[in-house]
């Protein structure tokens, strides 16, 4: 994956997802959140057979 263009906040709304960055993994459950600074390379993985929903918050590029 490409590095994040800006600071980004992810909020898991439903399901379960694994966030991977710099070799570290963190499993998110509903209403958990994680923040990545600009330039961070990250991966989002759904290891379940169930759907998941995530809110992504990032500044608008102008």
**pLDDT tens digits along 39-56:** 999 999 999 999 999 999
Domain range for residue 43?
A: 8-57
Return d(Cα 25, Cα 28) in angstroms, integer: 10
Number of domains in the chain: 1
Residue 35 lies in a domain: yes
Return d(Cα 32, Cα 37) in angstroms, integer: 17
Residue 13 lies in a domain: yes
User: Residue 33: pLDDT band by 50, 70, 90 thresholds?
Assistant: very high
39 phi, psi to nearest 5 deg: 90, -5
Average pLDDT score, the chain: 93
Residue 1 lies in a domain: no
From the number of C-beta atoms within 10 Å of its C-beta (0-12, 13-18, 19+), residue 25 rates as: exposed
């Amino acid at each position: 994956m490409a590095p994040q263009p800006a600071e980004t906040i992810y909020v898991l709304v439903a399901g379960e997802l694994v966030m991977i960055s710099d070799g570290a993994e963190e499993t998110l459950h509903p209403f958990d959140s994680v923040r990545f600074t600009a330039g961070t390379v990250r991966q989002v993985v759904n290891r379940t057979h169930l759907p998941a929903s995530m809110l992504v918050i990032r500044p608008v590029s102008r």
